[in-house]
Amino acid sequence: MNERRQVIYAGHKLRKARLEALIGTQKELAEKTGIPANIISDLERGKRQMSPNWAKRIAEAVGGSWTDFFDLTQ
């Protein structure tokens, strides 16, 4: 049987990482990453899919790995 892994973006992980990094607002994270605040908001609410590029920029701002924002499932 061919096994495939599915990658699922988890917006709640972004919000948690932002708050743990003591970045209080989405606007502040937007300023640190160059990603517009409305996109940060959409990402946190799961209204938009996270791109690897955005994940890497956010990870640099909050610390940790860009893969922290995804769940790997089978």
Structural domain for 55, as ranges: 11-65
Asked if residue 4 belongs to a domain, the reply is no
What number of other Cβ atoms are within 10 A of residue 73's Cβ?
A: 9
Number of domains composing the chain:
1
pLDDT of residue 69: 84
pLDDT of residue 4: 55
Could you tell me the mean pLDDT of each successive run of 10 residues in the chain, 74 residues long? 60 91 97 97 91 93 89 62
Asked if residue 73 belongs to a domain, the reply is no
pLDDT of residue 5: 55
pTM of the model: 0.81
Residue type, 58: I
Asked if residue 53 belongs to a domain, the reply is yes
Give the pair of three-digit tokens for residue 5. 């892994």
Asked if residue 6 belongs to a domain, the reply is no
Asked if residue 34 belongs to a domain, the reply is yes
Rounded to whole angstroms, the Cα distance separating 4 from 41 reads 30
Angle at 28 between CA 71 and CA 24, to 5 degrees: 70
Q: What is the CATH number of the domain that holds 61?
A: 1.10.260.40
pLDDT of residue 7: 59
